[in-house]
Amino acid sequence: MRGNDRLSIIDFSYITEKSLEEGDFMGPGFEELHTALQLLIYLGAFGIVAVASGQVAGVFQKLKLPLITGFLIIGLVSGPEMLGLIDAEAVSRLNFLNDIALAFIALAVGSELYLKELRSRMKSIISMTISQLLASFILVSLSVYLLASMIPFLEDMTLVARISISMLAGTIAIANSPSSAIAIINELRARGPFTQTSIGVTVVKDFVVIIFFAVIFTLSKSLIQEDNFRLIYIGQVVAELVVAFGMGFLVWILLKLILSIKGAIILKKLLFLATGFLVYLLTRITEDHSSRYLGLELHIEPLLICIIGSFMVTNYSVYRNDLIKIVKETGPYVYIIFFTLTGAMISLDVVSSLWFVTLIIFGVRIVSLGLAGFVGSTSAGDPHLYRRISWMPYITQAGVGVGLATIIATDYAGWGGQFATIMISVIVLNQIVGPPLFKWALNLVGEVHVKSDGTFEVEKKVLIFGWENQSIALANQLTKQNWKVEFVVSNPSMETLGNKDFVVHEFQGSDHLSLRKFSAETADTIVCLLSDEENYVICETAYEHFGTKHLIVRLNDREFYRKFHKIDVMVMHPTTAMVSLLEHFVRAPIATSLLLGMDETQDSIDIELRNSDYHGLTLRDFRLPSDVIILSVTRGDHPIISHGYTRLRLGDVVTMVGSNESLDKVRLNLQGY
C-alpha cells in the first residue's frame, strides 16, 4: 500500500516525526517517548502482518510446500521490496525479535539432543556427522570461492576476505532442520535404525554447527577487518569458547530455576524467552566492553550459550520434559515471527540476478551430502541400501541455517544482506526438495508405519469367538484403537458372512489344524464368548500349540474357573465383574473412568518393551510426553514396584495412561522395529 492508502499507524508515525522536527512538544524526554512510540507502532504493524502470515501460510501446506516457505514469502511480499507494510527502518528496529527467536531456536536444538536415546546408533551417527561436516564445508566453501568473480559483492574483495566469506557459506551449508525431520518421522510413524540415525545426525550436526560457526565467525570477522592472520586470533577463539561454555552453565542453572516454578506455564514461557534475549544482551555488552577496555573484540556466540544450557537441562536435570513442553507449545508462534521478519529482509534484486549462483550452491551441497553419506555409512558398516540413500534425510534446512545467515546480515551492513539472501534462497530450495526425499528414503528402508492411504498400520490381531451384540461392540472399540479384528462363528448366517466391517470365519473344530485354517496362531489375543466347554477346548489348544499371548474368556459357570486358571486364561465373570466395576466407581470414580477409556481423549495401555535401545534405561531417564504417566511395570508374570530408578528390561510390560496421541508415540518408541 502506498500514499493515501498507507496504514493509519504509519501516518501517525509521520506526524510525530514532523512534530519533533518542528520543535512541538519538546519537553524533557520527548525524544525517548517518540522512540518508544515508534517502536510500538512498528510492533503493531508487524503484529498484524505476523497474524496474517500464520493464517495464510496454511495455504502453502495444502500445496505440499513447507510452512516456513509460506512465512518467508509472506514476509517478502509485506517487506520494503514489495508492499512496504514492513519498511526497512521497521526491519532494523525489530531486530530484537530476531535475537529472541534465534535464542529460542538454539534452546530447541539443545532440547532434542538426549544422549541416552542415541547410544545404540552412536557409531553411525558419529561417522555420518564427521563425513558430512567435512564434505559440506569443504565443497560448498570451495564452490563459493570459485564463484567469487560472478558474485558482485565478492568481486572487489581481497583474497583473505573471499576465503572468509566462503567458509561462512560452507558453515551454513552444514546445518539441518531437526524440527522438519521430527515432523516427517511423526507423520509417517517411522521407527528403525535408519530413522534413528537420521534424527541423531540431524540434531548432532545442528549442535556442532553452532560451535563451528562460533569459531569460523570470529576468525572471518578478524580477517575481514584486518586482512591478515595473527596467532592471537587462535587465543581469542579459545577464550570465547571458554566464556561461552561458562555462560552456558549459568543458563543451565537459570533454566532449572525457571522450570522448577510450579504451575504458571505462561510465566515460564515468558521467562524462557527472556532468558534467550538476556543472553544476547550480555554477549553484546561483553563485546562492547572487551573492545573498549581490552582492545580486542570478543564475540561470544549467544547461540552456543543457549544450546549448551538447554543440552545440560535435557541430559543433566529432571526438567527435560518441562523444557520440551515449552519448546513444543511456544515454537509455532516464534517461527511465524522469525521467518516472516526474515522474509522482509530478502532482496529481490539479489535473488533475480544471482539465481544461477543459488542453484550451483544447492547442487554442490547435495553432491557433498551424497559423497558424505556413502563414506559415512560404509565406515560405520551400515547395509548397502543405506549407503545409497543415506544423503536423503539431510537436505532439509530451516531455523538454524536461516538464523546463521541473519546473524551475518546483521553484523555486516551492505554485503551481509546480499550474502544472507543467497543462502536463504538455497535454504528455501532445500526446504522444498528435502522432505519428499526423506519420506522416500524411509519408505525404501521399510521403516514407515503408515499405509498409503494415510491410516496406521495394524500391528495387533484379535480373534473373537462368538457373534453377538457384546462381541460386535468390543470389535468396534478395538478397531478404533487400530486392532485387526476377526470373528469365528459357529454356523454363520448369510447376514454375518456378508457384513462389510469384519472378516468372519466358520468354526469347524477346536483342534490346532482346524484353528490354523484361519491363522489363529498369528493372533495376539483370543477372546472366547461361547459355552464354557467350547471356550476351554479353544484356549487349551491355543495354549499348548500356539502360545497365544492373551487368552480371555467370559465365564458362565464358576466350576470352570480353576481349569481356566491352570492354563493362564484371564477370566471375566459377568456378575462379579459388574459388582467390582460398581465398587470402583464408588471408591475411585475418576480413576475408573480414565482406565475404562470413558474420556475419548485419554486411554490406558500395556506396552511390551521390544526396542533394545531402552533396555537398561531407568524410568527417570525415559523421556515421556508431559501428558503420559507410568502406572506399573510387569516383568514376566510378576508386577514389580516401580520407581524412578527402576531399569527397564526387554520383555517388560509397561502400563501407561495418557492422551491417545502421546501413547501412540510412546508405543512406537518402546516396541521399536
Name which of 63-77, 132-146, 219-233, 551-565 the model is least confident about. 219-233
Instruction: Look at residue 600 in the predicted model and tell me its pLDDT.
Output: 63
Alpha-carbon Rg for the chain, nearest whole angstrom, is 31
Is residue 386's pLDDT more than 60?
Answer: yes
Question: In angstroms, how far is the first alpha carbon of the chain from the final one?
Answer: 55
Mean pLDDT of 213-236: 71
Residue 210 pLDDT grade (very low, low, confident, very high; cuts 50, 70, 90): confident
More confident residue, 108 or 116: 108
Measured in whole angstroms, how far is the alpha carbon of residue 557 from the centre of its chain? 54
User: pLDDT at position 30, please?
Assistant: 57
Query: What digits encode the pLDDT tens for the residues 343-376?
Result: 787 777 777 777 888 899 999 999 999 998 888 8
Specify the range with the lowest mean pLDDT, choosing from 202-216, 306-320, 512-526, 569-583. Answer: 569-583
Average pLDDT, integer, range 566-591: 76
HEC profile of 458-499: CCEEEEEECCCHHHHHHHHHHHHCCEEEEEEECCCCHHHHCC
Which one of 3.30.70.1450, 3.40.50.150, 3.40.190.10, 3.50.50.60 gives the CATH number of domain 602-671? 3.30.70.1450
Task: Give the model's pLDDT for residue 591.
Answer: 62
Residue 352: count of CB within 10 angstroms of its CB: 8
Per-residue pLDDT, 232 = 65
Cell of 453: 492411504
Beta bridge partners of 461: 484
pLDDT for residue 4: 42
Q: How confident is the model at residue 25 (pLDDT cuts 50, 70, 90)?
A: very low
| More confident of the two residues 299 and 313 | 313
pLDDT at 126: 87
Of 334, 333, 267, 314, give the one whose Cα is nearest residue 105: 334
pLDDT for residue 14: 42
Residue 225 has pLDDT above 50, yes or no: yes
Tell me what pLDDT residue 17 has.
46
pLDDT of residue 539: 92
Cell of 422: 543467497
- Could you tell me the pTM of the whole model? 0.65
63-72: average pLDDT: 72
User: Which of 227-231, 366-370, 628-632 is modeled with the greatest confidence?
Assistant: 366-370
Looking at residues 626-643, what average pLDDT do you find?
75
Domain spans of the chain?
1-82, 94-444, 460-572, 602-671
What are the distances in angstroms from CA 186 to CA 183, 190, 293, 662?
5, 7, 51, 11
CATH tag, 460-572: 3.40.50.720
Class of domain 94-444: mainly alpha
Q: Tell me, what's the pLDDT at 19?
A: 47
Q: What is the mean pLDDT of residues 393-406?
A: 81
